[in-house]
Structure 1
Amino acid sequence: MEWHVKKFNELLPQDMYALLKARVDVFVVEQNCPYHELDDLDQASIHYYLTINDEIAANVRLLPEGLKYEKAASIGRVLVVKDFRGNGYARTIMLKAIDYIWKNWHVNQIKIQAQTYLNEFYSSLGFCQQSEPYLEDGIPHIDMLLERK
């Protein structure tokens, strides 16, 4: 088990390919949701991921303040690959991502777009719902916010 924190230009081509494959497998194939995976945000983001036996197990993408939201950092592309679910990796990687943002970026807020069925999970991490449900790529989402304490 190995945790990785890399800028885009630090990723080897095979690393980026593995991350994109995991994201497409989960968000496009599993959720049957065609959407623009390549959104031009990866290049300015931090890629935080877990590998187990050289396979991607979990991933998040950290977006600095001003990239997606003017006054908040963001965490997106949160996933745990199917074969690795049920081990607490989603909670662990989110806690690590939040800790990374608080320690490394001078921001006071983290904003996410969460699938509505994950409201309870993100609430347990301190995020508060900020919007009514809306459709994003045909899937119900809500905006959620975490403020620095």
Structure 2
Amino acid sequence: RAIAEFSERAPAALLQRAAQARMDAAALGTLAADVAHQLAQQTRAMLAPDASEDNAALPAFDWQATPLPAPPPRALGALGRAWQRQRLQSMFGPALEQACRAYAAALHAWLEAHVAARQRQLRAGQSAGAADPAQLAQDIARLAAALGSSSPTTS
């Protein structure tokens, strides 16, 4: 759910925040990457303890805004913020929306891969009589709930 909300709501919220703070394009890019990183860390934390080994496998947020001229002077107040928001939206809105959708898809695929891996471990554990199948089943149920499905598919 958090991944879907990121895809749907993050672009508008990021542009709004950037306009309010009179950010330039570089600061907007940094803010977007920070928000994406926080989402990835929350997703990874949900998988703890086994996600620590996959830290490098987390997808990276890939979007770099082209530079903007300096933001309007603060003396313009609300008018300057509205102008900045419109300028940010027209110049970066579509690209930011696409980057957020692509990142959400990549993060969701990363999460699904972990569900599939846990299912394979469960099957291997059951057939070999190995490590705690009950714990693996609980992990799979938790991950499947996080993905929003009651029975995730395997690869």
TM-score norm. by structure 2 comes to 0.23
Indicate the structure with greater strand content.
1
| Structure number with larger C-alpha Rg | 2
Indicate the structure with greater helix content.
2
